[in-house]
Chain A
Amino acid sequence: MEKDMNKHKFEDLDVDKFLAPENEKRSVLAPDGSIVEVDPLKDYFCQDRPEVQKPRSGPVENFLNWARAESLWVLGFGTGCGSIEIPPLTTPRFDMFRYGVQMRATPRQSNVFVISGYLSVKTLKRAIRAYEQMPSPKYIIALGSCTINGGMYYDSYNTINRLDAYMPVDVYIAGCMPRPEALLAGFAKLKELIKAGKAEKANEYAENFDWYKTNQKKIIKDWNMPDFNW
Protein backbone atom coordinates (compact mmCIF):
# COMPACT_ATOMS: atom_id res chain seq x y z
CA MET A 1 0.00 0.00 0.00
CA GLU A 2 1.20 3.46 -0.82
CA LYS A 3 2.52 5.51 2.05
CA ASP A 4 0.19 8.25 3.22
CA MET A 5 2.10 11.44 2.45
CA ASN A 6 -0.08 13.48 4.77
CA LYS A 7 0.66 11.49 7.85
CA HIS A 8 3.32 12.93 10.08
CA LYS A 9 5.96 10.35 10.81
CA PHE A 10 5.76 10.90 14.57
CA GLU A 11 1.99 10.80 14.78
CA ASP A 12 1.68 7.32 16.23
CA LEU A 13 4.93 7.22 18.15
CA ASP A 14 5.46 8.33 21.71
CA VAL A 15 8.31 10.70 20.89
CA ASP A 16 8.84 14.43 20.77
CA LYS A 17 7.63 15.45 17.34
CA PHE A 18 9.52 18.73 17.49
CA LEU A 19 12.88 17.00 17.96
CA ALA A 20 15.10 17.84 15.00
CA PRO A 21 16.14 14.76 12.94
CA GLU A 22 19.85 15.31 13.60
CA ASN A 23 19.19 15.22 17.34
CA GLU A 24 17.40 11.86 17.41
CA LYS A 25 18.92 8.90 19.19
CA ARG A 26 20.55 6.52 16.77
CA SER A 27 23.17 3.78 16.47
CA VAL A 28 26.30 4.46 14.47
CA LEU A 29 28.71 1.97 12.94
CA ALA A 30 32.20 2.63 14.27
CA PRO A 31 35.33 2.08 12.09
CA ASP A 32 36.22 -1.08 14.03
CA GLY A 33 32.86 -2.65 13.21
CA SER A 34 31.19 -2.16 16.59
CA ILE A 35 27.85 -0.39 16.88
CA VAL A 36 27.75 2.69 19.11
CA GLU A 37 24.58 4.19 20.55
CA VAL A 38 24.55 7.99 20.13
CA ASP A 39 22.23 10.42 21.91
CA PRO A 40 23.16 13.77 20.34
CA LEU A 41 21.43 15.88 23.01
CA LYS A 42 23.74 14.33 25.61
CA ASP A 43 26.84 13.50 23.60
CA TYR A 44 27.23 16.37 21.16
CA PHE A 45 26.33 19.34 23.36
CA CYS A 46 27.78 20.68 26.57
CA GLN A 47 25.65 20.04 29.65
CA ASP A 48 26.91 22.99 31.69
CA ARG A 49 25.39 26.42 32.09
CA PRO A 50 27.34 29.42 30.83
CA GLU A 51 29.74 30.86 33.36
CA VAL A 52 30.46 34.44 34.32
CA GLN A 53 34.01 35.39 33.30
CA LYS A 54 35.45 37.52 36.07
CA PRO A 55 37.72 40.38 34.94
CA ARG A 56 41.42 39.97 35.64
CA SER A 57 43.31 42.42 37.80
CA GLY A 58 43.93 46.06 36.73
CA PRO A 59 46.51 46.47 33.97
CA VAL A 60 46.09 42.92 32.63
CA GLU A 61 42.39 43.48 32.07
CA ASN A 62 43.09 46.87 30.49
CA PHE A 63 45.52 45.28 28.06
CA LEU A 64 43.07 42.48 27.25
CA ASN A 65 40.26 44.98 26.69
CA TRP A 66 42.46 46.99 24.34
CA ALA A 67 43.26 43.82 22.39
CA ARG A 68 39.59 42.80 22.25
CA ALA A 69 38.50 46.22 21.08
CA GLU A 70 40.99 46.29 18.24
CA SER A 71 39.92 43.02 16.65
CA LEU A 72 36.17 42.78 16.32
CA TRP A 73 35.23 39.79 14.21
CA VAL A 74 31.67 39.92 13.00
CA LEU A 75 29.52 36.88 12.36
CA GLY A 76 28.24 36.98 8.78
CA PHE A 77 24.60 36.35 9.64
CA GLY A 78 22.12 38.79 8.12
CA THR A 79 18.78 38.55 9.85
CA GLY A 80 16.65 41.27 8.29
CA CYS A 81 16.68 44.02 5.71
CA GLY A 82 19.57 45.70 7.58
CA SER A 83 21.99 43.04 6.42
CA ILE A 84 22.17 44.91 3.11
CA GLU A 85 23.98 47.71 4.98
CA ILE A 86 26.86 45.43 5.92
CA PRO A 87 28.38 44.63 2.46
CA PRO A 88 29.13 48.32 1.73
CA LEU A 89 31.34 48.33 4.84
CA THR A 90 33.77 46.02 3.06
CA THR A 91 34.10 48.36 0.07
CA PRO A 92 36.80 51.09 -0.17
CA ARG A 93 34.27 53.85 0.51
CA PHE A 94 33.51 52.78 4.09
CA ASP A 95 36.23 50.18 4.64
CA MET A 96 35.68 48.63 8.04
CA PHE A 97 38.99 46.75 7.93
CA ARG A 98 40.87 49.90 8.96
CA TYR A 99 39.10 49.65 12.34
CA GLY A 100 40.01 46.01 12.81
CA VAL A 101 36.48 44.87 12.01
CA GLN A 102 36.10 41.92 9.69
CA MET A 103 33.56 39.32 8.73
CA ARG A 104 33.76 35.69 9.73
CA ALA A 105 31.79 32.76 8.41
CA THR A 106 31.05 30.74 11.54
CA PRO A 107 30.03 31.58 15.09
CA ARG A 108 33.04 29.74 16.48
CA GLN A 109 35.39 32.30 14.92
CA SER A 110 33.56 35.53 15.69
CA ASN A 111 32.84 37.65 18.73
CA VAL A 112 30.45 40.32 17.46
CA PHE A 113 26.92 39.51 16.37
CA VAL A 114 25.16 42.22 14.37
CA ILE A 115 21.41 41.66 14.59
CA SER A 116 20.55 43.55 11.46
CA GLY A 117 16.89 44.47 11.62
CA TYR A 118 13.69 42.58 12.35
CA LEU A 119 13.81 39.06 13.73
CA SER A 120 11.05 36.61 13.03
CA VAL A 121 10.54 33.88 15.59
CA LYS A 122 12.01 31.34 13.18
CA THR A 123 15.18 33.43 12.76
CA LEU A 124 15.41 34.21 16.47
CA LYS A 125 15.77 30.52 17.16
CA ARG A 126 18.77 30.31 14.80
CA ALA A 127 20.19 33.57 16.15
CA ILE A 128 20.11 32.30 19.74
CA ARG A 129 21.79 29.12 18.67
CA ALA A 130 24.52 31.00 16.80
CA TYR A 131 25.04 33.44 19.67
CA GLU A 132 25.48 30.68 22.21
CA GLN A 133 28.09 29.00 20.05
CA MET A 134 30.24 32.11 19.93
CA PRO A 135 33.21 32.10 22.31
CA SER A 136 33.24 34.63 25.13
CA PRO A 137 33.87 37.61 25.32
CA LYS A 138 31.13 38.33 22.81
CA TYR A 139 29.07 41.36 21.98
CA ILE A 140 25.77 42.09 20.25
CA ILE A 141 25.07 45.16 18.15
CA ALA A 142 21.37 45.70 17.46
CA LEU A 143 20.83 47.55 14.21
CA GLY A 144 17.66 49.41 13.35
CA SER A 145 14.41 50.35 15.06
CA CYS A 146 12.96 46.87 14.78
CA THR A 147 15.34 45.54 17.41
CA ILE A 148 14.45 48.36 19.81
CA ASN A 149 10.65 48.44 19.83
CA GLY A 150 9.53 46.48 16.78
CA GLY A 151 9.77 49.41 14.37
CA MET A 152 7.29 49.17 11.54
CA TYR A 153 6.64 45.55 12.47
CA TYR A 154 5.38 46.42 15.95
CA ASP A 155 2.04 44.67 15.33
CA SER A 156 3.31 41.74 13.31
CA TYR A 157 2.28 38.27 14.41
CA ASN A 158 5.69 36.79 13.64
CA THR A 159 8.41 39.31 14.51
CA ILE A 160 9.61 40.08 18.01
CA ASN A 161 9.19 43.57 19.43
CA ARG A 162 12.27 44.04 21.57
CA LEU A 163 15.46 42.13 21.26
CA ASP A 164 16.82 42.69 24.78
CA ALA A 165 14.21 40.37 26.24
CA TYR A 166 15.78 37.42 24.43
CA MET A 167 19.44 38.31 23.89
CA PRO A 168 21.74 40.76 25.71
CA VAL A 169 22.45 43.86 23.62
CA ASP A 170 25.59 45.97 24.03
CA VAL A 171 25.00 48.74 21.50
CA TYR A 172 21.81 49.91 19.80
CA ILE A 173 21.90 51.75 16.49
CA ALA A 174 18.60 53.49 15.86
CA GLY A 175 17.23 54.25 12.41
CA CYS A 176 15.23 52.67 9.64
CA MET A 177 17.59 51.80 8.06
CA PRO A 178 20.80 53.24 9.58
CA ARG A 179 23.39 54.10 6.96
CA PRO A 180 26.76 52.30 6.91
CA GLU A 181 28.28 55.34 8.61
CA ALA A 182 25.94 54.76 11.55
CA LEU A 183 27.10 51.18 11.71
CA LEU A 184 30.72 52.35 11.81
CA ALA A 185 29.79 54.75 14.61
CA GLY A 186 28.23 51.79 16.40
CA PHE A 187 31.48 49.85 16.12
CA ALA A 188 33.37 52.89 17.46
CA LYS A 189 30.97 53.09 20.40
CA LEU A 190 31.40 49.39 21.08
CA LYS A 191 35.17 49.85 21.12
CA GLU A 192 34.81 52.66 23.64
CA LEU A 193 32.66 50.46 25.86
CA ILE A 194 35.05 47.53 25.64
CA LYS A 195 38.07 49.68 26.47
CA ALA A 196 36.21 51.13 29.46
CA GLY A 197 35.37 47.60 30.59
CA LYS A 198 31.62 48.22 30.29
CA ALA A 199 30.72 45.75 27.56
CA GLU A 200 29.74 43.01 30.00
CA LYS A 201 26.50 41.84 28.48
CA ALA A 202 27.71 38.29 27.86
CA ASN A 203 28.24 37.96 31.62
CA GLU A 204 24.79 39.41 32.20
CA TYR A 205 23.41 36.70 29.93
CA ALA A 206 25.15 34.07 32.03
CA GLU A 207 23.88 35.61 35.29
CA ASN A 208 20.25 35.93 34.15
CA PHE A 209 20.32 32.77 32.09
CA ASP A 210 17.03 31.41 33.43
CA TRP A 211 15.19 34.65 32.73
CA TYR A 212 16.41 34.71 29.14
CA LYS A 213 15.56 31.05 28.59
CA THR A 214 12.05 31.56 29.99
CA ASN A 215 11.46 34.44 27.60
CA GLN A 216 12.87 32.54 24.66
CA LYS A 217 10.80 29.44 25.33
CA LYS A 218 7.66 31.53 25.73
CA ILE A 219 7.67 32.43 22.05
CA ILE A 220 9.66 29.59 20.48
CA LYS A 221 6.99 26.96 20.87
CA ASP A 222 8.73 24.10 19.10
CA TRP A 223 11.89 24.11 21.18
CA ASN A 224 13.69 21.19 19.51
CA MET A 225 17.26 21.98 20.51
CA PRO A 226 19.18 21.54 23.74
CA ASP A 227 19.11 24.34 26.32
CA PHE A 228 22.86 24.70 26.15
CA ASN A 229 24.21 25.09 22.65
CA TRP A 230 27.92 25.47 23.14
Chain B
Amino acid sequence: MSNSSHGAQQSQTQAKLVLLGDMGAGKSSLVLRFVKGQFFEHQESTIGAAFMTQTVTVDDHVVKFEIWDTAGQERYHSLAPMYYRGAAAAIIVYDMQSQQSWQRAKSWVRELQRQGNANLVIALAGNKSDCKDMRKVSKEEAEAYAEEQKLSIFLETSAKSGECVNDLFYSIANKLPKQARATPQEGGRGGVVLDANAGQNRQKSQCC
Protein backbone atom coordinates (compact mmCIF):
# COMPACT_ATOMS: atom_id res chain seq x y z
CA MET B 1 0.00 0.00 0.00
CA SER B 2 1.15 3.47 -0.67
CA ASN B 3 0.15 6.96 0.20
CA SER B 4 2.08 8.64 -2.55
CA SER B 5 0.25 11.47 -4.20
CA HIS B 6 0.19 12.14 -7.90
CA GLY B 7 3.76 10.94 -8.42
CA ALA B 8 5.24 11.54 -11.83
CA GLN B 9 6.25 7.91 -12.36
CA GLN B 10 3.10 6.39 -10.85
CA SER B 11 -0.23 6.63 -12.56
CA GLN B 12 -3.24 6.96 -10.31
CA THR B 13 -6.82 5.89 -10.77
CA GLN B 14 -9.57 7.12 -8.53
CA ALA B 15 -12.34 4.57 -8.34
CA LYS B 16 -15.72 4.69 -6.69
CA LEU B 17 -16.57 1.30 -5.25
CA VAL B 18 -20.03 0.42 -3.95
CA LEU B 19 -21.12 -2.44 -1.71
CA LEU B 20 -24.43 -4.22 -2.12
CA GLY B 21 -26.06 -7.08 -0.34
CA ASP B 22 -28.55 -8.00 2.30
CA MET B 23 -28.55 -6.60 5.82
CA GLY B 24 -26.10 -8.51 7.94
CA ALA B 25 -24.14 -10.02 5.04
CA GLY B 26 -21.05 -8.24 6.30
CA LYS B 27 -20.63 -5.33 3.90
CA SER B 28 -19.42 -2.87 6.50
CA SER B 29 -17.27 -5.48 8.19
CA LEU B 30 -15.47 -6.25 4.91
CA VAL B 31 -14.72 -2.56 4.39
CA LEU B 32 -13.59 -2.10 7.98
CA ARG B 33 -11.28 -5.12 7.72
CA PHE B 34 -9.83 -3.83 4.46
CA VAL B 35 -9.45 -0.17 5.44
CA LYS B 36 -8.60 -0.41 9.15
CA GLY B 37 -7.71 -4.08 9.68
CA GLN B 38 -10.39 -4.29 12.36
CA PHE B 39 -13.27 -6.63 13.07
CA PHE B 40 -16.05 -6.34 15.64
CA GLU B 41 -18.26 -9.32 16.44
CA HIS B 42 -21.32 -7.11 16.87
CA GLN B 43 -20.72 -4.42 14.30
CA GLU B 44 -23.35 -1.71 14.66
CA SER B 45 -24.84 -0.37 11.47
CA THR B 46 -22.38 2.31 10.49
CA ILE B 47 -23.38 5.75 11.75
CA GLY B 48 -21.90 8.93 10.39
CA ALA B 49 -19.49 7.45 7.85
CA ALA B 50 -20.36 8.62 4.37
CA PHE B 51 -17.55 6.75 2.68
CA MET B 52 -14.03 5.56 3.36
CA THR B 53 -10.98 5.75 1.18
CA GLN B 54 -8.11 3.31 0.80
CA THR B 55 -5.22 3.31 -1.64
CA VAL B 56 -3.71 0.17 -3.13
CA THR B 57 -0.79 -0.23 -5.52
CA VAL B 58 -0.79 -2.83 -8.26
CA ASP B 59 2.28 -2.98 -10.53
CA ASP B 60 3.29 0.61 -9.85
CA HIS B 61 -0.23 1.71 -10.55
CA VAL B 62 -2.07 3.40 -7.69
CA VAL B 63 -5.78 2.88 -7.23
CA LYS B 64 -7.51 5.13 -4.75
CA PHE B 65 -10.78 3.49 -3.73
CA GLU B 66 -13.62 5.66 -2.56
CA ILE B 67 -15.80 3.06 -0.85
CA TRP B 68 -19.50 3.80 -0.42
CA ASP B 69 -21.63 2.03 2.12
CA THR B 70 -25.39 1.59 1.62
CA ALA B 71 -26.04 3.46 4.90
CA GLY B 72 -28.89 1.03 5.55
CA GLN B 73 -30.95 2.28 2.61
CA GLU B 74 -31.03 -1.24 1.14
CA ARG B 75 -33.12 -2.45 4.05
CA TYR B 76 -36.47 -1.38 2.61
CA HIS B 77 -35.31 -1.45 -1.01
CA SER B 78 -34.77 2.31 -0.99
CA LEU B 79 -31.27 2.68 -2.40
CA ALA B 80 -31.01 5.82 -4.53
CA PRO B 81 -29.76 5.68 -8.14
CA MET B 82 -27.13 8.20 -7.04
CA TYR B 83 -25.46 5.36 -5.19
CA TYR B 84 -24.47 3.68 -8.46
CA ARG B 85 -23.55 6.85 -10.36
CA GLY B 86 -20.02 6.85 -11.65
CA ALA B 87 -19.15 3.62 -9.81
CA ALA B 88 -16.14 1.80 -11.25
CA ALA B 89 -16.68 -1.35 -9.22
CA ALA B 90 -19.30 -3.07 -7.09
CA ILE B 91 -18.95 -5.83 -4.53
CA ILE B 92 -22.06 -7.91 -3.94
CA VAL B 93 -21.80 -9.55 -0.57
CA TYR B 94 -23.81 -12.49 0.73
CA ASP B 95 -23.66 -14.47 3.93
CA MET B 96 -22.78 -18.03 2.92
CA GLN B 97 -24.71 -19.24 5.96
CA SER B 98 -27.98 -17.87 4.61
CA GLN B 99 -29.98 -18.94 1.57
CA GLN B 100 -32.04 -15.75 1.84
CA SER B 101 -28.91 -13.64 1.69
CA TRP B 102 -27.78 -15.60 -1.41
CA GLN B 103 -31.11 -15.11 -3.16
CA ARG B 104 -30.96 -11.38 -2.42
CA ALA B 105 -27.40 -11.23 -3.80
CA LYS B 106 -28.70 -12.54 -7.10
CA SER B 107 -31.37 -9.87 -7.23
CA TRP B 108 -28.68 -7.24 -6.57
CA VAL B 109 -26.78 -8.58 -9.58
CA ARG B 110 -29.91 -8.13 -11.69
CA GLU B 111 -30.40 -4.63 -10.28
CA LEU B 112 -26.83 -3.70 -11.20
CA GLN B 113 -27.18 -5.12 -14.70
CA ARG B 114 -30.34 -3.04 -15.10
CA GLN B 115 -28.28 0.11 -14.50
CA GLY B 116 -26.60 -0.75 -17.77
CA ASN B 117 -23.05 0.33 -16.94
CA ALA B 118 -21.06 -2.00 -19.19
CA ASN B 119 -17.66 -1.05 -17.73
CA LEU B 120 -18.59 -1.81 -14.13
CA VAL B 121 -16.34 -4.39 -12.48
CA ILE B 122 -18.64 -6.65 -10.46
CA ALA B 123 -17.26 -8.85 -7.70
CA LEU B 124 -19.25 -11.46 -5.82
CA ALA B 125 -18.14 -12.18 -2.26
CA GLY B 126 -19.44 -15.09 -0.15
CA ASN B 127 -18.68 -13.79 3.33
CA LYS B 128 -18.31 -15.51 6.71
CA SER B 129 -16.04 -18.27 5.38
CA ASP B 130 -14.59 -18.67 8.88
CA CYS B 131 -17.34 -21.08 9.89
CA LYS B 132 -17.62 -23.28 6.83
CA ASP B 133 -19.55 -26.00 8.70
CA MET B 134 -22.50 -23.62 8.91
CA ARG B 135 -22.45 -23.16 5.15
CA LYS B 136 -25.80 -23.07 3.32
CA VAL B 137 -24.51 -21.92 -0.08
CA SER B 138 -22.03 -24.15 -1.87
CA LYS B 139 -18.92 -22.73 -3.44
CA GLU B 140 -19.69 -24.59 -6.69
CA GLU B 141 -23.14 -23.06 -7.03
CA ALA B 142 -21.88 -19.53 -6.46
CA GLU B 143 -18.92 -20.05 -8.77
CA ALA B 144 -21.15 -21.37 -11.54
CA TYR B 145 -23.51 -18.43 -11.08
CA ALA B 146 -20.67 -15.88 -11.22
CA GLU B 147 -19.41 -17.46 -14.44
CA GLU B 148 -22.85 -17.60 -16.02
CA GLN B 149 -23.47 -13.90 -15.22
CA LYS B 150 -19.96 -12.99 -16.40
CA LEU B 151 -19.06 -11.42 -13.06
CA SER B 152 -15.42 -10.35 -12.94
CA ILE B 153 -14.50 -11.85 -9.59
CA PHE B 154 -15.80 -14.47 -7.17
CA LEU B 155 -14.19 -15.08 -3.79
CA GLU B 156 -15.17 -16.50 -0.44
CA THR B 157 -14.09 -14.13 2.30
CA SER B 158 -14.08 -13.72 6.04
CA ALA B 159 -14.11 -10.24 7.49
CA LYS B 160 -13.57 -11.93 10.87
CA SER B 161 -10.36 -13.79 10.04
CA GLY B 162 -9.36 -11.52 7.18
CA GLU B 163 -9.29 -14.42 4.73
CA CYS B 164 -9.22 -13.23 1.12
CA VAL B 165 -10.35 -9.70 2.04
CA ASN B 166 -7.27 -7.99 0.63
CA ASP B 167 -7.34 -10.39 -2.35
CA LEU B 168 -10.84 -9.18 -3.09
CA PHE B 169 -9.90 -5.50 -3.28
CA TYR B 170 -6.59 -6.13 -5.07
CA SER B 171 -8.34 -8.27 -7.69
CA ILE B 172 -10.75 -5.43 -8.30
CA ALA B 173 -7.89 -2.93 -8.59
CA ASN B 174 -6.31 -5.26 -11.14
CA LYS B 175 -9.43 -5.41 -13.27
CA LEU B 176 -9.94 -1.67 -13.44
CA PRO B 177 -8.93 0.08 -16.65
CA LYS B 178 -5.31 1.13 -16.25
CA GLN B 179 -5.36 4.63 -17.63
CA ALA B 180 -5.42 7.23 -14.93
CA ARG B 181 -8.68 9.07 -14.88
CA ALA B 182 -9.63 12.39 -13.52
CA THR B 183 -12.10 12.28 -10.68
CA PRO B 184 -14.67 10.29 -12.61
CA GLN B 185 -17.59 12.67 -12.32
CA GLU B 186 -15.94 16.04 -12.50
CA GLY B 187 -14.19 15.78 -15.83
CA GLY B 188 -14.94 18.03 -18.74
CA ARG B 189 -15.33 21.74 -19.06
CA GLY B 190 -17.08 23.81 -16.47
CA GLY B 191 -16.61 21.34 -13.60
CA VAL B 192 -16.67 23.18 -10.28
CA VAL B 193 -15.49 22.16 -6.85
CA LEU B 194 -17.57 23.32 -3.94
CA ASP B 195 -15.79 23.97 -0.71
CA ALA B 196 -16.15 26.09 2.38
CA ASN B 197 -13.91 28.86 1.12
CA ALA B 198 -16.76 30.61 -0.57
CA GLY B 199 -15.86 33.59 -2.62
CA GLN B 200 -12.14 33.26 -2.04
CA ASN B 201 -11.40 33.98 -5.65
CA ARG B 202 -13.84 36.83 -5.60
CA GLN B 203 -12.54 39.75 -7.56
CA LYS B 204 -12.56 43.13 -5.97
CA SER B 205 -14.17 45.69 -8.16
CA GLN B 206 -11.64 48.09 -9.55
CA CYS B 207 -11.92 51.43 -11.10
CA CYS B 208 -10.86 51.34 -14.69
Instruction: Tell me, yes or no, whether A binds B.
Output: no
